Amino acid sequence: MNCRVKICGITNLEDAMMACNHGADALGFVFYEKSPRYVSPEMANSIVKQLPPFVTPVALFVDADSSLIESVVGANSRWMIQFHGNESESECRRYDRPYMKALRVQQGDNIVALVDQYPSATAMLLDAYKAGVPGGTGEVFDWSLIPADLSKPIVLAGGLTPENIKQAINQVAPYAVDVSGGVELSKGIKSEPRVQEFIRGAKSE
Ligand SMILES: O=C(O)c1ccccc1NCC(=O)[C@H](O)[C@H](O)COP(=O)(O)O
C-alpha cells in the first residue's frame, strides 16, 4: 500500500512537524470556529511558513465567506483548499487554487453524480454523514457504497484509525486517506504513536 496520508485538525507547530517527520503527505487546518480543532488563520499561516517541502497544507472551510478564504490562502501559495460544506462547483473554483470537495456519504446517494458535479476538483473527499456535524465525526460509513472507477481521485475519510486503516485501503483502494480523531490524544492534539502507526499502516506493503 503506498497510499497518501492527510493528517487533519492540526492546531500547533509541534504536531505539524511530528506528522511531517512520520511521513504525512498533507496537513489539514480547520477554519470552522465551531470545531474543537479550529485554528486561527494567523496561527495556521505561521505553521505553514515553517513546514518542510513536499507537504501540502490544506485549508478547510465550511460554507465560509470569501473574505475568510482569501485571508487564509492569500498568505501562502502552498495552500490547497478543502470545501466541507454545501459549496457549489462555481463557488469552489472561484479561488483559482487546487481544491478538494468533501461529500458526506449517506445510503442512497448517487455518488457518481455528486462527484461529477465538481469537474474542476483535484480530488473528492468521501466522509461520514452525521446530522448536525459537518465533519470530524470519528464515525465510519459503509465503504461498500463507494462505486469503483470514480472520475476523480478519492480521499477516504471518516472514523479511520491505526486499527482499521489497512482494511479500509484494501477494500476501497483510495488515492489517499484522511484522519483526525483516530490519531488524537484529545480534540486537536495528536498522539505521536498513533500518527506513526496510522501512516505506517497506510504506506506498508
Ligand atoms: O475535524 C473537524 O473537527 C471538522 C469540523 C468541521 C468540518 C470538518 C472537519 N474535519 C474535516 C476532515 O477532513 C476530517 O479529517 C474528517 O471529517 C474525518 O474526521 P475523523 O472522522 O475524526 O477522522
Q: How far is the CA of 180 from the centre of ligand 1 (A)?
A: 6
Q: Which atom of ligand 1 is nearest to 133's Cα?
A: 6
Which CATH number characterizes residue 76's domain?
A: 3.20.20.70
Cell numbers for 162:
491505526
pLDDT > 90? residue 177: yes
- Average of per-residue pLDDT across 172-200: 98
Cell numbers for 28:
489539514
pLDDT > 90? residue 135: yes
Q: Does 149 participate in catalysis according to the annotation? A: no
Q: Which amino acid is at 48?
A: V
Q: Would you say 3 and 203 are in contact if contact means Cβ atoms under 8 Å apart?
A: yes
Domain boundaries, position 195: 4-203
Most ligand 1 atoms within 8 A of CB, residue of 5, 58, 84 to mutate: 84
Question: How many structural domains are present in the chain?
Answer: 1
List 15, 25, 127, 178, catalytic entry: 127
CA 67 vs. chain centroid, Å, equals 22
**Interhelix angle for 41-49 vs 66-73, to 10°?**
20
The ipTM assigned to this model is: 0.99
Please report the pLDDT score of residue 2 as a whole number: 79
Q: Which atom of ligand 1 is nearest to 37's Cα?
A: 3
Q: Which amino acid is at 172?
A: V
Mean pLDDT, all residues of the chain: 97
> Residue 196 class from Cβ within 10 Å (0-12 exposed, 13-18 middle, 19+ buried)?
middle
Q: Does 8 participate in catalysis according to the annotation? A: yes
Instruction: State how far the Cα of 203 lies from the Cα of 1, in Å rounded to an integer.
Output: 5
Q: How far is the CA of 87 from the centre of ligand 1 (A)?
A: 16
Q: Of 88, 67, 160, which is closest to residue 101 (Cα–Cα)?
A: 88
Please report the pLDDT score of residue 205 as a whole number: 79
pLDDT > 90? residue 1: no
Q: Write out pLDDT tens, residues 102-118.
A: 999 999 999 999 999 99
Long-range contacts of 127-132, Cβ-Cβ distance < 8 Å, separation of 24 or more: 127/84, 127/102, 127/103, 127/157, 127/158, 127/178, 128/104, 128/157, 128/158, 128/159, 129/104, 129/105, 130/104
DSSP 137: -
